[in-house]
Amino acid sequence: MPAVITFLENHEMKKSDLGEEVIAGLLSEIASIPSKLFYDLLGSKLFEIITLIPEYYLTRKEAEILNTHLSDIALEIGKHMTFIDLGAGNCKKAAGLFESLEPKTYIAVDISVDFLKEILPKLQAQYPTIEMLGVGVDFSSKLDLPPSVDKNKRVFFYPGSSLGNFNDKQAATLLKQIYDEAQGGGLLLGLDLWKDERSLKLAYDDPLKMTAAFNLNILQNVNALIGSDFLIEDFCHHIEINSKLHRVEMYLEAQKEVTVSWSNQKRDFKKGERIHTENSHKYTIDKIKHLLTDAGFKHLKIWTDPNQYYAVIYAHSNNRAD
């Protein structure tokens, strides 16, 4: 008999609260839009395409590490866990581990529950014995899982170097919440490592301009949320490599003087003025160890590709003997 598939909305932030956050960002001295607005249904599909672009090495390197070390990873994690996929997207990365990990329950967590409603029924058909739950939640603010999620042997999965979208303080807070929620389980984490600027530029400003489309789509989501009149053609995609802070910064740059209005408010943009949309932090191995041990994780196992482009880590939330 096929296992149960359930969908839950668990958003604490109301639409009005998110709108206020967006407006505050637009009116700041340096305008910004929270990156959580990227992931409507179209944004999720655009990001899925980005992961297939050759220049976007992150997905390819992560898959290489997972495939090469899958048996070791399975030994570290064990089987029959509650497998909690943070920022699940199309769920393909997690599904690639099902045969080896044999999870009892799969919890797909994403800000866009609509995207999960499209994906999970297809996945359930492939793996009918795994119970599945789709949870729509903004865990960038607080990791708040529904009470129905099994507390026994929780293993969190956070791939794609998505932790890098947070600053150090925010990343530390999220990791501590994951540690507290893991309750004796652990965290399987994928993180991008600091590397040459050319590789970073190609990954975040690809020749096909799919990342540009992904970035610009956020303006449509802002318009829908606060009733603003952004025109996509007035802005272009722009990135900066910040070597001091080890991160890629993503912006939308005004191509001419433009005034954007909403309700009874407005923002004037000069030609060349930018709206910050995302940071993607890159890590060293020492920084990874520091972040995870400070969050409380007791034992780390780290795998990298031969060129040290990327790292996959399993962090145990309890002590273990080797």
pLDDT tens over the chain, length 322 residues: 455 577 777 554 466 788 999 999 999 999 999 999 998 889 989 999 999 999 999 999 999 999 999 999 999 999 999 999 999 988 999 999 999 999 999 999 988 788 788 899 999 999 999 999 999 888 887 898 888 888 889 999 999 999 999 999 999 999 999 999 998 899 999 999 999 999 999 999 999 999 999 999 999 999 999 999 999 999 999 999 999 999 999 999 999 999 999 999 999 999 999 999 999 999 999 999 999 999 999 899 999 999 999 999 999 998 654 4
Q: Which two tokens stand for residue 290?
A: 């520091």
Give the 3-state secondary structure of residue 271. coil
Q: Is residue 1 included in any domain, yes or no?
A: no
Both 303 and 155 in one domain: the answer is yes
Report the number of distinct structural domains present in the chain.
Answer: 2
Beta bridge partners of 105: 82, 131
Q: Is residue 128 included in any domain, yes or no?
A: yes
Q: Which residue in the block uniquely carries the two structure tokens 């672009």? A: 53
Both 287 and 277 in one domain: the answer is no
Both 114 and 207 in one domain: the answer is no
104 vs 142: CA distance, rounded Å: 25
Both 125 and 219 in one domain: the answer is no
**Domain range for residue 266?**
15-49+196-281
Both 245 and 293 in one domain: the answer is no
What predicted TM-score, i.e. pTM, was given to this entire model?
0.90
275 vs 173: CA distance, rounded Å: 26
Domain containing 133 — which CATH number? Answer: 3.40.50.150
Q: Is residue 230 included in any domain, yes or no?
A: yes
